[in-house]
Chain A
Amino acid sequence: MTGPLATRREFLTRGAGAVAAAGGLSACAYWLYDESGKAGLDEGGGPELFLGELGETPSPCPLPLGERGVMGHSLRNFFASIDLPASNPRICIATGDDERVEQIVQAAIVGLAPLLGMKQFISSGDVVLIKPNVGFDRPPRLGATTHPEVLRAVIRLSKEAGARQVLVADNPIEAPEVCFVRSGLGGVARAEGAEIVFPTPADFMTLVARAHRPDPSQGEALRRWPVFGTLLTRATKVIGVAPVKDHNLCGGSMALKNWYGLLGGRRDQFHQAIHHIISDLAMVFSPTLVIADATRVMMSNGPTGGRASDVKPGGMLGRAAVVASVDPVACDAWCYENLLGRDPSALAYLELANRKIAARIAGGEKRFAECDWRVYARQGMVVEVAV
């Protein structure tokens, strides 16, 4: 270096200025930093949907004010009003020819509630939300989405049981309209007089799943996150209708993973904690009924598949099957073992979901959770019906 040196004062002044500028930028970045990793979706700008804390019975919605002083709703327990006799089966598996899907679905539901059938779950005047998996713009044959005939049967049974309105909704990552058309689900829903609810920004509410910061060591993932919430405030009953699929991230996509489709935002961020998020969703959503569609089971290359050879009717059963259950955890455990042919004790989200739901049951919530389906089997609560 040549030329005169800066004075000590100049050097220190400039150095201090540089440090101050860097500090200012860092402070700005810290202020804007999104610690929950939800791509900055506004936490307080819209209505909120609360999951009641343990020991606190969720109030009927809507609540006048939420945690942050904005309009809020309490997330319903959609199973709470179901008066299921204690001795009734928790899981019913119906199998049959794949040309008789509607009869198979009906048999599965009647198997759960022999006296009343769907009327055990749906009452006159109910607004029923049916949540199929419409996640991909793939044809029904590939098994990436719910079979349209299964959806048709559930819509019909709901209406026959007295439903005032049937809503069909999902929030696919791809263009929803295209997914509903290509999957065949949109056509069926319209033909059966159900209302397809396509997600719009106004439909998203901030789900408040827990008050504290999620603790990954406890398998927690959700705190506040946008969900397709207006549906959940409109519906009085919720039925999940999910295809049974291999899933390269979490092992299997069945009844519990189906709720992932109600999340908004950059939900791909949860791929890193897939078991945590699925079990959190299991804790959050207490459906009236779940139906696992195993008319064709994607045995490999899930969740997208793409080959006819990836799909097998009924999976390990070898013929079209539909599983109806009032316990989504047990339902998934049964399907994972008997349809996908895998060991449910290795499916981490089942145990996590079981633990989280058990805590809520201990807090007074009415619902079922058993990650070992054999517990039900020993009590005669797993029934199989051939159509």
Chain B
Amino acid sequence: MISLHLRQLARPAGHVSTTEIVLGLAILFITFGIVTAFVYEVATDRRGPSDAAESAYETRPEAESLFPDPGVAGWRAPSRIFHYSRENLFVKIDGRVPVYLEAGVVGLTFGTYSQGGELRRNVDVYWYDMGSPANAAAVYRGEAPPAAKQVAIGDEGYEVGGAVFFRTGVNYIQVLPGNFDEAEGKAARGIAERLAARIGRGSHSADERESGE
């Protein structure tokens, strides 16, 4: 019965048009090509961890708009922005990845504010898109120290040792000074406030902003 049913779906060769044959062959060819390319890419992947890190790097003209001007004299916004997906997030946070994956992370956007271009004085921004406000709150609260000093940034925030952590909408953002001195702490606070304000005015996530949605 099954065989007969299948036969009803098939037509004799003479009843298949040239267009159908060409289209069918094209689909088969493309499918085979995609499968072959994928398998080949995996089979010849010689990248080491550092190469994987470099693959996350992208320079985008939107950098300036994604990360606002810090509003602190002598400091400038990141000129290089790194984007990490669920698949390559390990490159940035390695063994910490499972915590974020389980919480539903969508991606991480990373950039470094610097003072006068000096690498030695800087503030890193880890901007996680957690997919939903509930996910963001779960990770934020899971990592927050019990007696942290609360700050009025985003939906919820705290400051510890000059670093600022806050969540707003789907975003969980960590603003980390490089050397934890007073100047960096002040810059971190300013950056966090401006980031929160910008996110509040605009779309909810870094990815949405990137794609212009």
Using CB atoms and an 8 Å cutoff, list the residues of chain A in contact with chain B. Answer: 1, 3-8, 10-11, 14-15, 21, 25, 28-29, 32, 34, 39-42, 135-139, 141-142, 171-176, 181-182, 199, 201, 204, 226, 247-250, 253, 264-268, 271, 274, 300-304, 306-310
Tell me whether A6 and B95 are in contact in the complex, defined as CB-CB below 8 angstroms, given that A25-B32, A306-B163, A309-B145 are known contacts.
no
* Chain B contacts for A304, CB-based, 8 A: 93-96
A34 pairs with B54, CB closer than 8 A: no
* Chain B contacts for A14, CB-based, 8 A: 10
B212 interface hit (Cβ, 8 Å): no
A307 pairs with B145, CB closer than 8 A: yes
A253 to B11, CA, bound (A): 65
A selection of 5 A-B contacts at a CB cut-off of 8 Å is: A21-B28, A32-B40, A300-B145, A306-B143, A307-B143
A136 to B28, CA, bound (A): 46
Residue in B32, B40, B148 whose beta carbon sits within 8 Å of that of A309 in the complex: B148
B198 interface hit (Cβ, 8 Å): no
B1 interface hit (Cβ, 8 Å): no
Q: How far is the CB of A98 from chain B (nearest CB, A)?
A: 15
Residue in B10, B47, B50 whose beta carbon sits within 8 Å of that of A6 in the complex: B10
* Chain B contacts for A136, CB-based, 8 A: 94
B176 pairs with A306, CB closer than 8 A: yes
Name the residue on A nearest B91 (C-beta).
A173
Q: How far is the CB of A135 from chain B (nearest CB, A)?
A: 6
B176 pairs with A171, CB closer than 8 A: no
A303 to B28, CA, bound (A): 47
Give the top 10 A-B pairs by smallest Cβ distance, nearest first: A308-B161, A173-B49, A268-B90, A6-B10, A309-B145, A40-B43, A39-B45, A304-B96, A303-B95, A32-B43
Using CB atoms and an 8 Å cutoff, list the residues of chain B in contact with chain A. Answer: 3, 6-13, 15, 28, 32, 35-36, 39-40, 42-50, 52-54, 90-99, 119, 124, 126, 143, 145, 148, 160-163, 165, 174, 176-180
Residue in B9, B36, B119, B177 whose beta carbon sits within 8 Å of that of A1 in the complex: B9
A174 pairs with B53, CB closer than 8 A: yes
* Chain B contacts for A253, CB-based, 8 A: 95
Residue in A182, A204, A301 whose beta carbon sits within 8 Å of that of B119 in the complex: A182
* Chain A contacts for B91, CB-based, 8 A: 173-174
A84 to B47, CA, bound (A): 41
Residue in A25, A28, A176 whose beta carbon sits within 8 Å of that of B50 in the complex: A176
A4 to B32, CA, bound (A): 31
* Chain B contacts for A265, CB-based, 8 A: 48-49
Tell me whether A308 and B160 are in contact in the complex, defined as CB-CB below 8 angstroms, given that A42-B46, A174-B91, A267-B49 are known contacts.
yes
Tell me whether A40 and B42 are in contact in the complex, defined as CB-CB below 8 angstroms, given that A5-B8, A248-B98, A309-B160 are known contacts.
yes
Name the residue on B nearest A301 (C-beta).
B143
A41 pairs with B96, CB closer than 8 A: no
A247 pairs with B39, CB closer than 8 A: no
Name the residue on B nearest A269 (C-beta).
B90
* Chain B contacts for A25, CB-based, 8 A: 32, 35
* Chain B contacts for A32, CB-based, 8 A: 39-40, 42-43
Q: How far is the CB of A310 from chain B (nearest CB, A)?
A: 8
A172 pairs with B50, CB closer than 8 A: yes
Q: How far is the CB of B123 from chain A (nearest CB, A)?
A: 11
* Chain A contacts for B98, CB-based, 8 A: 248-249, 271
B53 pairs with A41, CB closer than 8 A: no
A137 to B126, CA, bound (A): 12
Tell me whether A271 and B180 are in contact in the complex, defined as CB-CB below 8 angstroms, given that A10-B12, A264-B48 are known contacts.
no
* Chain B contacts for A5, CB-based, 8 A: 7-8, 10-12
Name the residue on B nearest A38 (C-beta).
B45
A4 pairs with B50, CB closer than 8 A: no
B8 pairs with A271, CB closer than 8 A: no
* Chain A contacts for B179, CB-based, 8 A: 139, 141
* Chain B contacts for A181, CB-based, 8 A: 119
Name the residue on B nearest A267 (C-beta).
B49
Name the residue on A nearest B89 (C-beta).
A268
B48 pairs with A204, CB closer than 8 A: yes
* Chain B contacts for A11, CB-based, 8 A: 3, 6-7, 10
* Chain A contacts for B124, CB-based, 8 A: 137
Q: How far is the CB of B23 from chain A (nearest CB, A)?
A: 16
A132 to B124, CA, bound (A): 23
Q: Besides A1-B8, A172-B50, 10 other CB < 8 A contacts?
A: A7-B12, A32-B42, A34-B42, A34-B43, A39-B45, A41-B45, A135-B94, A266-B49, A303-B94, A303-B96
B180 pairs with A302, CB closer than 8 A: no
Central interface residue in A3, A226, A306, by most chain B CB within 10 Å: A306
A249 pairs with B95, CB closer than 8 A: yes
B178 pairs with A182, CB closer than 8 A: yes
A162 to B44, CA, bound (A): 44
* Chain A contacts for B39, CB-based, 8 A: 28-29, 32
A249 to B165, CA, bound (A): 23
* Chain A contacts for B9, CB-based, 8 A: 1
Tell me whether A171 and B160 are in contact in the complex, defined as CB-CB below 8 angstroms, given that A248-B99, A302-B95 are known contacts.
no
B49 pairs with A171, CB closer than 8 A: yes
B95 pairs with A173, CB closer than 8 A: no
* Chain B contacts for A300, CB-based, 8 A: 145
* Chain A contacts for B119, CB-based, 8 A: 181-182
Name the residue on A nearest B31 (C-beta).
A25
A14 to B28, CA, bound (A): 14
A264 pairs with B49, CB closer than 8 A: yes
